[in-house]
């Protein structure tokens, strides 16, 4: 591929791109897009930038309000950064609620707000990576689920607000996916970890690719993807 072809690629920003689902999405979009690799660790971001055909770093702690400068052109914004913390309502202090919502909701809202002028100009797409917990909550998972319910509400509102501006909003809700976050969650719940019953990060990336590649006259408003096998 020539330098001119690389420079003329559409631009995709992927947050949480240095591991797990975010990394798989960045790698997949990297086949066709110039990828802004989002992450908190400059070393981890730079390592992935070097692996992609066309990429640049986007380093900052979004949950702490650190938003790097955005490009004038932005075709795709994938919100994959997220945290899972907290236990039961009785045992989770306010500070944990605030930390989870800062990353999973407030950072998403602020980055989207700042990116909207470029997204409108490109008639682009916003893809919040949600969760099955954005539909259902259970014991010990209330903090994470509440943040994902809020993220779903945010996406639903944004979709309708920006419909006339040509900006599409597609919520992607993966089920259990093999990742560091999933391992931490399973350990917290005291369950066994068996990847036969989990999605691979590349499966979620394939779903995001489907959403992004749909012609702009249509929108996949909400997409749930679950492991085929269940215990």
d(CA 192, CA 115): 41
Look at 1 and 65; give whichever has higher pLDDT: 65
Tokens (6 digits) for 7: 């420079």
Query: Given a cut of 80, is residue 4 above it in pLDDT?
Result: no
Note the pLDDT of residue 193. Answer: 66
Query: What pLDDT is stored for residue 191 in this prediction?
Result: 73
Dist. CA 197–CA 116, nearest whole Å: 38
Q: So what's the pLDDT on residue 189?
A: 67
Which among 131, 132, 128, 85 is positioned nearest to 108, based on CA atoms?
Answer: 128
pLDDT in tens, 13-65: 999 999 999 999 999 999 999 999 999 999 999 999 999 999 999 999 999 99
pLDDT tens string 124-139: 999 999 999 999 999 9
Residue 42 neighbours by CB distance under 10 Å? 11
Res 1: pLDDT: 46
Q: What is the pLDDT of residue 156?
A: 98
Judged against a pLDDT cut of 90, whether residue 119 lies above it is answered with yes
CATH 3.40.50.720 correct for 3-225 = yes
User: Each residue of 44-78: b (16+ CB within 10 Å) or e?
Assistant: bbeebbeebebbebbbbebbeeebeebeeebbbbb
> What pLDDT does 223 receive?
97
**Which carries the bigger pLDDT value, residue 202 or residue 230?**
202
For the entire predicted model, the pTM comes to: 0.92
Q: Residue 111's closest CA among 156, 60, 163, 157?
A: 60
State the pLDDT at residue 178: 82
Tell me, what DSSP letter sits at residue 102? I
pLDDT tens-digit map of 186-199: 766 677 767 778 89
Mean pLDDT of 95-124: 98
pLDDT on residue 197: 82
Exposed (0-12), middle (13-18) or buried (19+): which is 213, by Cβ within 10 Å?
A: exposed
Q: Which residues are catalytic?
A: 144
Half-sphere exposure of 25 (CA within 13 A, CB side): 32
Closest Cα to residue 14, out of 108, 101, 135, 133? Answer: 108
Residue-range domain boundaries for the chain: 3-225
């Amino acid at each position: 591929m020539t330098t001119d072809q690389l420079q003329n690629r559409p631009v995709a920003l992927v947050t949480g791109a240095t591991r797990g689902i975010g990394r798989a999405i960045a790698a997949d979009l990297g086949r066709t897009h110039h990828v802004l690799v989002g992450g908190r660790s400059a070393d981890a971001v730079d390592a992935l930038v070097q692996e992609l055909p066309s990429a640049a770093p986007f380093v900052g702690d979004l949950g702490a309000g650190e938003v790097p400068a955005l490009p004038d052109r932005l075709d795709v914004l994938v919100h994959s950064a997220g945290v899972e913390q907290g236990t039961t309502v009785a045992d989770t202090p306010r500070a944990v609620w605030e930390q989870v919502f800062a990353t999973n909701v407030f950072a998403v809202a602020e980055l989207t707000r700042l990116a909207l002028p470029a997204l409108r100009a490109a008639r682009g797409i916003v893809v919040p990576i949600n969760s099955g917990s954005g539909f259902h909550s259970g014991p010990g998972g209330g903090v994470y689920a509440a943040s994902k319910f809020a993220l779903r509400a945010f996406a639903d509102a944004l979709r309708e607000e920006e419909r006339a501006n040509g900006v599409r909003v597609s919520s992607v809700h993966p089920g259990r996916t093999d990742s560091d976050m999933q391992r931490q969650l399973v350990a917290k719940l005291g369950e066994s970890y068996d990847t036969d019953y989990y999605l691979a990060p590349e499966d979620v990336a394939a779903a995001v690719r489907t959403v992004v590649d749909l012609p702009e006259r249509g929108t996949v408003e909400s997409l749930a993807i679950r492991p085929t096998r269940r215990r």
